[in-house]
Every structure is written in C-alpha cells, then in structure tokens.
Chain A
C-alpha cells in the first residue's frame, strides 16, 4: 500500500541536479579535494572517476534550455507519478472498507478513483519518457556516470515497471469481474501487489536522487566501489522515502478531492451532488490524514540533511534557499486553512452542526495565530528606516519566532486545532447516549490542555534555554504529544459516540460551492508546494551533479534567483493542472453517450 508516495519514476533530482548550479566560489576547497582524490583514484578499479566536464560537454539542441526542459519534464513526471502511486493506496483502503462494510458506495468510489488514475498513468509514462530523453540529450555524461553505478537497479526498475502496469491493468479491468466472496479477495490481493510494486519503484528512484545529494559507495573522486547497495543505502535515502510516502498519500487525496469538487460543481442532480460531496469529503479526509504527520517527516528529513552536512543544511534553511522556506510555510499554512474551512463548511450538512458554529471562531484565532508564527522569518525584510528604528536586522520580540522551536510549537498547535475541527465535524449530527458523556468530554478537554502546555514547555524551555542538541531533540516529544492526543482522543470519542442518537440527518450535497473551492485550493497549493520543495531539495546540491564528487560545469550551473525559480515552478504547475483538468474531462466524457438515431444501420437493414 505504500506505493503511494512515489513521487517519481525517474528521480526528480536527476533533473534537478543540473538545474542547480551556483557560482562557484563557495566550495572551492571541496572541489580541490575532489580533484585531488580523482587524480589518486585507484587505477585498477573497473569503474571510472566522475568525469570533469567543460561547457562543451553539455550538448545544445535547437536553442532549447536543457536545464529548464529537464526541470519541467521531471517535475511533471514527479507530480503524475505521485498521483498514480498515491491513488492505488487509498483505492485499496477504500475497497477494503467497502468489502468489510458491504457498502457498495465505497466500491463504486474506489473504482471511479482508479479509473481517473489510469489515464494519469499513461501521462506519467509520457512525461517520464520526456524526462529521460531530455537527460540523455542534454546531460549525456551525467547519465553515463549514474548508469555506470546504478545499472542493475535501472534494469530492475524497467522490469518492475512492467509488473506495475500488469497489476494496474488487471486491477482496473478485472474490477467488475472479480466480485464476490472469493474473487473480491483475489482482487484486493492484486491491489496490494500493485501498491507493493509501486512502492518499490519509488524506493529505487529515490536512491538515485539521494545518491546525488549524499553520495555513498564512491570515493572522493567518484570511483564506485562496486557495491550497489552502498550507493542505494545512502545517508538521505530513508528520510526521503518516508517523507515522500506520507506526502504522496496527502497529495493523492488532494487531487481526488479536486476531482470530486469539479464533479460536484458540474453536477446536475441532487444525487450526483450528494455522491461527489461524499467523495470529496473522503478524499479530503485522506489528504488531511496524510498532511498531519507530514511536517514531522519533513523535519526529520531536514534534521538529517543538517546532520549529513552543515553546509547543505545552512544553504537550505539559513542561506540562499531560506526565503523559499517562507513561501513554503505560507503554502503549508494555506493547506491547513483550506482543510479547516472545508470541515467547518461541512458542519452545515446536518442541522446538528449548528450547535458547534460558535466554537469555530476560537479555533480560527488559534490556527491563524499559530500560522503567523509558522511563517515569521528570522531575518526580516526591513526598510532603512525600520532598520534604524530596530537598531539591527533582528527583531527583539519577533526574531525568536523565526527559529525552529517556535515553528515546531506552532505547527503542533495547528495540527491539534485541525484535529479539533475534525472532532467537531464528527459530532455534528450525533448526540451521545452513554452516561459518562460529561466525564468523557472533560477527559478530552484535559488531554488537549495538557498537550498544549507540554508542547509550549518543550518549545520554549528546550527551544530557547538549552543547547542545540536538545532544541532539535525536543521536537520529538512534541510530535509524540500531538500524535498521542490524536490517538487517545479518537478512542475516547469513539466510545462516547458509540450507538449515538442521530440528532439530524447528514445531508450529503448540502454544502456551499465555496467549500469546493477550498478543495481546489488544497490541490493547487499541494502541487505548487511539491514543485517548490522539489526544487529546493535538488537545488541545495548547488553546482554539483553529485555533491562533492561530480561538478556541474554546464552553462546553467548557477543557482537561480527566487523569482526565476518560482516562475519556472509556476509555469510547470499551470501545465500540470491543465493536464489534470484534461484527465478529469476524459473521465467525464467516458461516462457519456450520444444518441444517434438513424446514423447506424439497424440490424438486418
């Protein structure tokens, strides 16, 4: 089931790596080291050191900018791959729920999801081919070097791709055939296999791109030691694997949510509206479930990047890419705001939800306040007048909000409040009948209060009054606190509302169109965010194809300005969304039939 994440069939960074160059001065010494080591490389090794290229070694073609070509193609491929790996994960889950509950709506919804992903699958392959060809044309020496190390895994990758296709086609085309007590089990097993294969594909591709960031299995000159597992199992492989796995679940949910919103807004009948409202809700649920642990996975990844290389870590968070992280923070906050807004709008599906309207403003205050802390930069953009008034570039009161302990505290609070929104939504149409309702509610309130107190204590005390090791380490108990509250509160809530009375029916389809735009916003923000973060992750290699081992000497080996990079990502985002709308439209017309009386010959005529 894991396979969802798989952002890429081809490593985005393969593309990215060329994209990033930089102006060389920074790492001259490391470069010298690589050169020296290359000169001393063991001549007996069957493997060659990383080539030292010149501008002439990078072919040009009809005036195309090779870097932008590969960048956009790889990014499109990454998005589609994330989508087609993510969808089968929750299709599998939804199908299993349908099988367990014997509610056919789940089965129908799962089928509709997989139908959408099938078209996306072929687009994934097309843009994947484009990426590969782009790399071969514009970066032949990079590909030669990478292939010399990863040739076995690349062949496996191609073969596994066949297995992925076979599983997907049997899973989709056999959907209606494999129904019934035994056959459904067979179908579900194929779904599991599909996910396992997809996950494997992602893991392989991830190893290529993380090798480029944190090379292993090669010496300082890039000479491969012959052990492919060493190269695959490099320092950043697992952190990326985890981050991408979780991110793909959230991303797949958001795109399907957008699909449901599209269908909801174009629905002509109340039944259709009800169906797509229900689908949108479920997709949003999956997206939020994936979104909640995502900041933690991201934090783990960045902590590991810092641990691997202070230089890379500072480039990422404190150096040239730091401002992109402010944009990232804004987009992540937008995701949380959209998700909450959708839940609040959903309260109106049932008359019972009106009881909870009054609490939403308090949630909004806390979420927005946490969000403001979340994106407050450490180094402020100041006019000369403000600089003089403050006496320096740091703000006495807002400056401390710019470092990670404050961010970690804020994001944990945001997550807890989002979960609280969900709890209110869950209760909208129910009245508990157990005798210990008050005690149960009190326990939940106590749980939230204690958790918030603990998160603040960890963030403030360990974040500002202990050394850096504890600053970083304190984030773990913060995360555990949040996760523990989610688990315990869910258990208590399930017990309180067991056999609950329905205060008013849940009327699917009775949500304002505004809520559907929140789903669109969620999908677009996710897409843009993935493009942005993919660029940053790839870009921190700066002027290296493979960090400290293989220098990028192409004419494009510079780190783009913020405006340049965000423009490229925005264009790619627009292209992707246009293609996704095309996929949605295909799904729409595939269910339509035109009556053509007299056009076809009647039998026997």
Chain B
C-alpha cells in the first residue's frame, strides 16, 4: 500500500478556535446561544430590571414547559418527523390530571395518570406512523385535533381548579434563582442528552433520521425507533401537563396552539436539522430560552402583546436562514 498512502493526511486535530470562529457553520450551530446573549444585552440596555433577580427567576420558570416539550420535539425531529400534537397532548394530560383530582385520586396517582396519558398518545402516534405508514405530519395533525377534543369532552369545556399545596410549592419555590420546575427541565435535559449521545438508542435515532436505508441495512428497526421517539415526546408532553396544572393552579381544556409551533421554533433555533439525523439537546433548550426571553423582554419594554408572535416568527426565520450555512 506504499504508493496509495501519498495523500493520506495524519489525523488532523480539532480545528483551532480562531478558525472555528470564522466558520459560518459554527455560528449556525450556536445561533440560539448567540441570540440569547444578543437579546439579553438589548433588553438589559432598554430596561435595567431585565436582569434583576426576580425577572431572571420568572423567565427560567416560564421557560420550563417549553424546554421540556422542545426536548420531546427534538427526538421526533431527529428522526426526520415532527410532533404537532405536543401542546394538545399536554392540555389533555392536564385535563386528565384535573379529572382524576376531582375524583379524589391521590396526587401521585393524578401525576401518573397525566404521564400515562401522554405516553399512550405518543405510542399511538408512533405506531400509526411506523406501522400504518402514514406521514408524521398527518398523524400528529390528527392527534392534535383528537387530543384537544378529548380534553374538551373530559373537562366538559370548563377549567377545573386544582388546589394542592405541593403543586403550589413546586411551581413557586426552588433553590435560589432556579425554580423547581426549571430544575426539573434541566434534569430532563441532562438525562435526554445522555440518552441521545451515550446510548445505542440515541445513536440509532440519529442513524434512522440521517439515513433510514443505511440504518435498516445494519439491522436497526426504524419502525421501533419511530414508536420510541413519539412515545418519548408523549411522555414529556404528559409531564408538561403536570407543570401546566401546577403553574396555573387549574387544568384548562383551552387549546394552546402557539405552544406547538414554539417547540418547533425552539428546535430549529437550536440548530437541529428538520431533515433529521442531526440533533443536540443543548440547542433546543437554549432555543426555548431565547423564545421565552423574547416574550418576557418585549413585555418588559412595553411592546404590545400583539407584536410578540411577529417577533417570534422573525427570529425563527432568521435562525433558519443562518442554518443554511450549517453544512
């Protein structure tokens, strides 16, 4: 082989930092972090209470649900799919919680019910996509509607008050700057990060998303992976349902359609490829923080609420533009 190794370079070390900073792909990968820092500087300049202890605390608590839902969304998008039903499943799980609570179930059982509700919805989504061979978009669009409908039916269209000292503490207390709900989101982020990058399952998720043919050729069942990722997304939506009940002290069947779109926005901001195969957990977590900071900051600066969806839209499209440099 002497003649053929001419152009074989020795294993190059990771590119130097200065070189990485000049690469647009680096900025695309870290769009969410750059956006977060940029927004923080702008809002702090416009209103000095932005970085006050109380406001940072409330931003983190407000971000918790979006972070958890976005992590679930990351798994489905990593396989090249999308889960449009996350927010509706969360609402339905919250209503299931409220229903069980009024039936006199113990609090832990109510929580289990909420998570199981999400799990079942996710598993059904995954099974329909994988075994029924229906596109992800169509299945989850259907379950978006189904979950919202079931929530309305179960709650009879009315919110149910849930008075629980434990949930109140859970949503209002914490350790210093970090509320319990935010800490829960961080714990989930750490666990899912390990799952994605340090387990066979995580590798297979990325393989199934990156090249279904190659994954199948090596014996990976892409159907099982699909079912698994939608189940993960469903479980996290169920968990978010509990946080939602804790946050507003009631379970409401009112649909929150912007939440689903925000999870997709957070994932895109986080540098995850919508085509699948490439994902991080840190990215979408930062993406969710960017969106929360944006809404919080605009409110603080006194911009009308009506401008907030517009601002979110602009930020997401800008991030997507930056993503073109990712390759």
Q: A and B bound?
A: no
Residues of A whose CB lies within 8 Å of any CB of B are: none
